[in-house]
Amino acid sequence: MAGKGISLQSFGLYPKLREVDQFLASHPEQQHLLLEVHPEVSFALWHGRPMQHGKKTAQGRGDRMALIEKSWPGLVTQLRADLGRSGYGSDDLLDAIAVLWSTIRYASRTHQAFPEHPEIDDRSLRMQIIG
pLDDT mean over 53-70: 96
Full domain range(s) for residue 61: 35-130
Determine, yes or no, domain membership for 1.
no
In the predicted structure, residue 1 carries a pLDDT above the cut 70 = no
Total domains present in the chain? 1
Determine, yes or no, domain membership for 49.
yes
Determine, yes or no, domain membership for 3.
no
Determine, yes or no, domain membership for 8.
no
Phi and psi of 74, rounded to 5°?
A: 80, -5
pLDDT in tens, 114-123: 999 999 888 8
pLDDT in tens, 6-28: 778 778 888 998 999 899 888 98
Determine, yes or no, domain membership for 22.
no
Q: What is the pTM of this model?
A: 0.84
